[in-house]
Amino acid sequence: MTDRPTMTTTAGAPVPDNQNALTAGPRGGIMMQDYQLIEKLAHQNRERIPERVVHAKGWGAFGTLKITGDISEYTKAMCLQPGAETPMLARFSTVAGEQGAADHERDVRGFALKFYTGEGNWDLVGNNTPVFFIRDPYKFPDFIHTQKRHPKTNLRSATAMWDYWSLSPESLHQVTILMSDRGLPQTPMHMNGYGSHTYSFWNDAGERYWVKFHFKTQQDHKFFTNEEGEAVIGKTREGYQEALFYAIENGAFPRWTVQVQIMPELDSEKTPYNPFDLTKVWPHADFPPIEIGVLELNRNPENYFAEIENAAFSPSNIVPGIGFSPDKVLQARLFSYADAHRYRLGTHYENIPVNQPRCPVHHYHRDGQMNTYGGIRTGNPEAYYEPNSFDGPAEQPLAKEPPLKVDGDMSRYDHRVGNDDYVQVRALFNLFDEGQKSRLFSNIAAAMGGVPSEIIERQLIHFARVHPDYETGVRAALKAAHGYGADTISTAAE
| Active-site annotation holds for 127 | yes
Q: Which one of the spans 232-240, 298-306, 337-345, 363-371 is the region binding ligand HEM (CB under 6 A)?
A: 337-345
Spatial distance between the Cα atoms of 186 and 242, rounded to a whole number of angstroms: 12
Binding ligand NDP (rule: CB under 6 A), the pick from 86, 146, 166, 192 is 192
Options 18, 43, 45, 55, the catalytic residue = 55
What sign has the CA pseudo-torsion 103, 109, 115, 119?
negative
Which of 156, 299, 344, 479 is close enough to bind ligand HEM by CB under 6 A? 344
Strand, coil or helix: 207:
coil
- Total of residues contacting ligand HEM (CB under 6 A): 28
Q: Shortest CA distance to 94 belongs to which of 191, 199, 170?
A: 191
| DSSP E strand stretches across 160-244 | 193-194, 199-202, 208-217
Torsion of Cα atoms, 59 then 62 then 68 then 73, to 10°: 80
Among ligand HEM, ligand NDP, none, partner that 104 touches (CB below 5 to 8 angstroms by kind): none
55 is catalytic: yes
Which one of residues 284, 362, 363, 366 is an interface residue with ligand NDP (CB under 6 A)? 284
337 binds ligand HEM (CB under 6 A): yes
| Residue among 344, 340, 296 at smallest CA distance from 315 | 340
Residues 26-50 as b or e (16 or more Cβ within 10 Å = b):
eeeeeeeeeebbeeeeeeeeeeeee
From 127, 310, 317, 355, the catalytic residue: 127
404 makes contact with ligand NDP (CB under 6 A): no
Phi and psi (nearest 5°) for 42? Answer: -65, -40
Q: Which one of ligand NDP, ligand HEM, none is in contact with 127 (Cβ closer than 5 to 8 A by kind)?
A: ligand HEM
Angstrom distance (rounded) from CA 245 to CA 90: 13
Nearer to ligand NDP, 114 or 214 (CB): 214
Q: Which residues contact 285 (CB under 8 A, 6 or more apart)?
A: none
110 binding partner (options ligand HEM, ligand NDP, none; Cβ < 5 to 8 Å by kind): ligand HEM
Verify cis geometry, omega within 30 degrees of 0, for the bond prior to 346: no
Query: Distance of CA 407 to CAs 61, 326, 401, Å?
Result: 42, 11, 18
Return the range that interacts with ligand HEM (CB under 6 A); candidates 30-38, 328-336, 404-412, 424-432: 328-336
Strand-strand pairing, 85-94 and 58-67: antiparallel
Asked if 180 touches ligand NDP (CB under 6 A), the answer is: yes
**Angle, to 10 degrees, between the axis of helix 158-166 and the axis of helix 140-147?**
150
CB-wise, 191 or 308, nearer to ligand NDP?
191
Q: Give me the residue whose beta carbon is nearest to ligand HEM.
A: 110
Of 365-404, which residues contact ligand HEM (CB under 6 A)? none
Residue 326 near ligand HEM by CB under 6 A = no
- Of these, 424, 442, 443, 459, which contacts ligand NDP (CB under 6 A)? 424
Q: Note whether 117 and 97 are within 8 A (CB).
A: no
Among 119, 181, 307, 471, binds ligand NDP (CB under 6 A): 181
Q: Is 279 in the site for ligand HEM (CB under 6 A)?
A: no
Among 76, 214, 255, 341, binds ligand NDP (CB under 6 A): 214
Q: Provide the binding-site residues for ligand NDP, judged by CB under 6 A.
A: 130, 177, 180-182, 192, 214, 281-285, 424, 427-428, 431-432, 436
Q: Provide the binding-site residues for ligand HEM, judged by CB under 6 A.
A: 52-55, 58, 91, 93, 110, 112, 125-127, 132, 137, 140, 196, 278, 311-313, 329, 332-333, 336-337, 340-341, 344
